[in-house]
């Protein structure tokens, strides 16, 4: 086998392993109704938050003017020390020329110390990383994600779909869209990052 053919074989093997990992992990998505195929069931909607349809993308979640969706997810008892991946595809009708984040979709979360979703103590805020829409043009679908290790005592994760806002730059009614959402647990950070790579290369 020539060196060139060996490299090609190795690339194909890596792609197969990543794709297999993606398929296996997706069956373990802790979110219910992650692509709005069942309307808004399993999600709580606040303000201007609806399930929308487009010919290009089918059903998806859409928020305007500070509207939001949230879903509470009880974690398994062995979740301590594992890595939680929050991921999805997002799109915005508004891209600010001055770089302001107002209107951009972002996925966000809390780690909570119990399953009392009416309250509970917040242990950790899940934000930053790549969770804000990084699209460079309007209505472009891109990936958003963040990876966080689960601290001891965490009983649940609250998963949010929101719009970002910068001070003194108000919302203008533009839509933020979310689809193909996921909350996955991995034993290592590397496994979570490998999943992100496969997810990025998957057809939307």
For every residue of 95-159, DSSP letters joined together read --TT---TT-EEEEEEEESSS-TTS--EEEEE-STB-B---SSTT--EEEEEEEEPPTT--EEEE
Q: Which residues 6+ apart lie within 8 Å of 126 measured at CB?
A: 84, 86, 108, 109, 110, 111, 146, 148, 157
pLDDT at 2: 62
- The residue assigned the tokens 């794709």 is 19
pLDDT at 84: 98
Residues 24-57: tens digit of each pLDDT: 555 699 999 999 999 999 999 999 999 999 888 8
Query: Which domains, ranges and CATH numbers included, belong to the chain?
Result: 3-201 (2.60.120.260)
pLDDT at 19: 47
Q: What is the pTM of this model?
A: 0.84
Residues 179-197: tens digit of each pLDDT: 999 999 999 999 999 999 9
pLDDT at 57: 80
Q: Which residues in the chain show pLDDT less than 70?
A: 1-27, 114-119, 203-204
Distance CA 204, CA 143 (A): 10
């Amino acid at each position: 086998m020539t060196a060139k053919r060996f490299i090609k074989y190795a690339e194909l093997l890596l792609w197969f392993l990543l794709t297999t990992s993606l398929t296996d992990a997706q069956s373990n998505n802790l979110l219910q109704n992650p692509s709005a195929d069942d309307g808004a069931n399993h999600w709580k909607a606040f303000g201007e938050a609806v399930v929308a349809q487009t010919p290009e993308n089918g059903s998806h979640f859409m928020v305007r003017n500070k509207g939001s969706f949230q879903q509470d997810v009880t974690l398994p008892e062995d979740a301590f020390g594992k890595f939680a991946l929050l991921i999805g595809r997002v799109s915005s009708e508004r891209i600010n020329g001055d770089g302001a984040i107002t209107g951009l979709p972002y996925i966000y979360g809390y780690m909570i110390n119990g399953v009392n979703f009416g309250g509970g103590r917040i242990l950790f805020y899940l934000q930053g990383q790549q969770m804000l829409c990084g699209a460079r043009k309007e209505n472009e679908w891109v990936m958003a994600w963040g990876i966080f290790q689960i601290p001891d005592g965490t009983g649940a994760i609250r998963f949010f779909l929101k719009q970002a806002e910068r001070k003194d730059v108000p919302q203008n009614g533009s839509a933020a869209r979310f689809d193909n959402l996921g909350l996955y647990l991995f034993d290592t950070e590397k496994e979570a990052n490998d999943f992100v790579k496969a997810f990025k290369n998957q057809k939307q």
